[in-house]
Each structure stands twice: as C-alpha cells, then as structure tokens.
C-alpha cells in the first residue's frame, strides 16, 4: 500500500488531525482572524480548512503550501468544485524556501503536519515561519504528540510499525513530548502563549450557510463513495482499518496538543 496520506487524498478526506472537525473549529476560534490579515497554512491536505477560513472570515488573505502532490491535486479539485479561486494554494518548494517575503504574514498555522516530518525539514519550517511572520505574528498548530512517560523504545517501535503499515511515522521521536515542542518554539524566537491539551475539548463550527461549504461537503462525500466502489480503495481501507485496530489495542500513547506561539 502507498502512503496512508495518498489514500486519504484519493478519498477526499478532510480534517486529518486531532479531534477532526472539532479540532479545526477550536483552531479557528483561537485564531479569530481579522480583515486585512494574511494567513498561511503549511500542509493544507485536501483543502478543507482553507475553505472554512475563506467562507467564514471576510477580508482575510489566505495562502497555502502543500508537500504531497496527491493532496495538492485533490485540494485543487475541491477548490474548483466549490467555486473557490485556488491560485494562492501551491506546491511546497522541494528546498522548503517559501516563496514569500520576510514579515509577510500575520498568522501561520498547521494541523498535524510538523510532528511527522523528518528532523531536518522540521527545523527548516520553524526557521521559515520565524522569517515570514511579522513581529508579534502568531504561529498556531495542532499536533498529536507522545504522552509524557511513553519511553523512547516504545516510541521507536510504534514508529517502525507505522512506517511499515502507513508509510509515515506516528510522531517525532526527537521532539517527542509537548515540553520539547515548547523548547523548540523558544529556540526559534517564539513565546508560547498557550499550550492546551485537546483531550475532552469540544468545539463546533457555528452554522453558516454558504454554497461553497455545501459543495465542499458534497466533494468529501463523493470521495468517500469512491472507497465503496473501487476494489483497490476498498482493500486499502480494510488494511488501514486492521492496522489502526491493532494500534488501538495499545495503552494510550498520543495526545492532541494545541499551541499558540508568538514571534518575539
């Protein structure tokens, strides 16, 4: 099986992060972007959060970068299906030199992207975020991280299992715990304003009728239907379900954590 991310792309899956749609609702509430602000999403997946921002917050300028060609392809299809201009959403450069001037953004955010990156790429993205944010700008992220007390041997074992089964690690072993991520932020010139465990947090998107959001929801449903009628996707879905079930039998080892960091 190819990477699990390719499967989720081909099935148009949105909200691929801790708490799913509720996690995105919590993120948007905390971000609360204002008219005139420029926002960048790093690793926008199939594009749902970008659409939520565009449809729910008037007057913001939204940009996005995505590393996976398959995710980018499906996201562009989502934007076209929903009737949204996708010209500001593009492929992430291979060298991770982001194509924007220093201090260009008021807000940078990502959802379950950073913790699965190789160490070198992770450090590069932290550096880019520091360059691209204006002084006082905010870096928000929602990550699934190892619980304090989960040992390195177990971390490495689970990551090896996930690499074999899903093509990606579960989470970083170098920067394993929420406290490590706080140190990482401070090393790159950020002050951590909030560090919130997401377990038990419940947030809902406020009701808003918008044809673009409706079309996006239909696009997600069409992707799910593909897994019912494609033999290959059906097999992959079954394999993923079996491996996820095996991991679920383990004692809890991850926690979703929300960070709000401010550039000093």
Q: Give dist(CA 256, CA 264) in Å, integer.
A: 25
Q: Which residue from 239, 237, 240, 242 is spatially nearest to 11, judged by alpha carbons?
A: 237
Domain span including residue 110 = 4-263
The pLDDT of residue 261: 98
DSSP string, 8-41: HHHTT----STTHHHHHHHHHHHH---TT-EEEE
Whole-Å CA distances, 247 to 90, 144, 253: 34, 15, 10
Q: Which residue from 81, 68, 29 is spatially nearest to 214, judged by alpha carbons?
A: 81
The pLDDT of residue 6: 95
**Token digits for 237?**
């879905």
What is the residue-level pLDDT of the chain in tens, covering all 264 positions?
468 999 999 999 999 998 999 999 999 999 999 999 999 999 999 999 999 999 999 999 999 999 999 999 999 999 999 999 999 999 999 999 999 999 999 999 999 999 999 999 999 999 999 999 999 999 999 999 999 999 999 999 999 999 999 999 999 999 999 999 999 999 999 999 999 999 988 899 988 999 999 999 999 999 999 989 999 999 999 999 999 999 989 899 999 999 999 999
Total-model pTM:
0.95
**The total number of structural domains that make up the chain:** 1
DSSP string, the chain: ---HHHHHHHTT----STTHHHHHHHHHHHH---TT-EEEEES-TTSHHHHHHHHHSTT-EEEEEES-HHHHHHHHHHHHHHT---TTEEEPPTT---SS-TT-EEEEEEES-GGGS-HHHHHHHHHHHHHHEEEEEEEEEEEEEEPTT--HHHHHHHHHHHHHHHSS-SS-SSS-SHHHHHHHHHHTTEEEEEEEE-TT----PPP---HHHHHHHHHHHHHHHHHHH-HHHHHHHHHHHHHHHHHHTSPP-EEEEEEEEEE-
Whole-Å CA distances, 71 to 124, 170, 208, 245: 21, 19, 26, 25
CATH code for the domain in which residue 22 is found? 3.40.50.150
């Amino acid at each position: 099986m190819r990477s699990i991310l390719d499967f989720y792309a081909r099935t148009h899956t949105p909200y691929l992060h801790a708490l799913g749609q509720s996690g995105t609702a919590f993120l948007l509430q905390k971000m609360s972007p204002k008219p005139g602000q420029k926002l960048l999403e790093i690793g926008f997946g199939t594009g749902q959060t970008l659409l939520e921002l565009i449809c729910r917050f008037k007057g913001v300028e939204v940009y996005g970068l995505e590393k996976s060609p398959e995710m980018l392809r499906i996201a562009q299809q989502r934007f076209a299906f929903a009737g949204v201009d996708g010209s500001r959403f593009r492929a992430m450069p291979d060298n991770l030199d982001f194509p924007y001037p220093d201090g260009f953004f008021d807000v940078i955010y990502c959802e379950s992207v950073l913790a699965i990156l190789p160490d070198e790429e992770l450090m590069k993205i932290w550096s880019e975020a520091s360059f691209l944010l204006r002084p006082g700008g905010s870096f928000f992220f929602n990550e699934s991280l190892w619980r304090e007390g989960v040992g390195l041997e177990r971390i490495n074992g689970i990551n090896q299992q996930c690499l074999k089964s899903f093509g990606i690690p579960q989470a970083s072993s170098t920067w394993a715990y929420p406290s490590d991520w706080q140190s990482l932020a401070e090393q790159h010139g950020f002050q951590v304003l909030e560090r919130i465990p997401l377990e038990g947090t419940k947030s809902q998107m406020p009701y808003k009728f918008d044809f673009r959001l409706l079309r996006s929801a239909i696009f997600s449903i069409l992707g799910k239907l593909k897994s019912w009628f494609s033999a290959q996707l059906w097999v992959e879905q079954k394999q993923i379900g079996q491996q996820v079930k095996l991991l679920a039998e383990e004692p809890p080892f991850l926690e979703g954590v929300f960070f709000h960091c401010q550039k000093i």
